[in-house]
Amino acid sequence: MFSLDSRLQQDTLVLGDFPLCRLLLMNDANYPWFILVPRCEAVSELFQLDAADQVQLWLETTRLAEVLKDVFAADKMNVATLGNVVSQLHMHVIVRRREDLAWPAPVWGKHPARAYSDVEIADVRGRLRLVLGGHFQFVEG
């Protein structure tokens, strides 16, 4: 049974579900920073997912990266699965811009998170509604 890691729960907001993954928004308004978590029995490495789920995770990751790049005018998308702190498999999909706080360094541990305001979260949800198709199920926040 799927259960979201408590640290992810604490640091993020739930946006909704793709067929495989729950989509989270890192509660850090410094960057549009998203996280995909496969809703399956907990595994920690990509190659521990079964073959069909691997294909689906790749699809959801690359399609999400593609729409985010457009919607948030990214200079570069950062895609990564690290898991040194949170072992539940999760994929970071992060919009990077040349003028963001950490550029060109990776975002992890670089600056303290700045929590979103309600207006800012509504803006993120609104942008995603424009581009995430019928295969994505929003949860109301």
Does the footprint of its own copies cover residue 113 (CB under 8 A)? no
114 touches its own copies (CB under 8 A): no
Instruction: Determine, following the binding rule CB under 8 A, whether residue 131 of this chain makes contact with its own copies.
Output: no
* x/- map, 15-54, its own copies, by CB under 8 A: -----------------------------xxxx------x
**Minimum distance of its own copies from residue 51's CB (angstroms):** 10
Closest CA to 70 of 138, 127, 135: 127
Rounded to whole angstroms, the Cα distance separating 111 from 26 reads 13
Q: What are the angstrom distances between the C-alpha of 36 and each of 78, 81, 98, 103? A: 13, 10, 24, 22
- Report the residue from 1, 10, 52, 84 that binds its own copies according to the rule CB under 8 A: 84
The nearer residue to its own copies, 79 or 122, going by C-beta atoms, is 79
1 binds its own copies (CB under 8 A): no
- Over the range 51-62, which residues count as b (16 or more CB within 10 Å of their CB) and which as e? eebeebbeebbe
| The pairing of beta strand 33-38 with beta strand 137-138 | unpaired
> Which amino acid appears at position 5 of this protein?
D
Q: Where on the chain is the footprint of its own copies (CB under 8 A)? A: 44-47, 54-55, 58, 61-63, 65-66, 69, 76-85, 87, 96, 103-106, 108-109
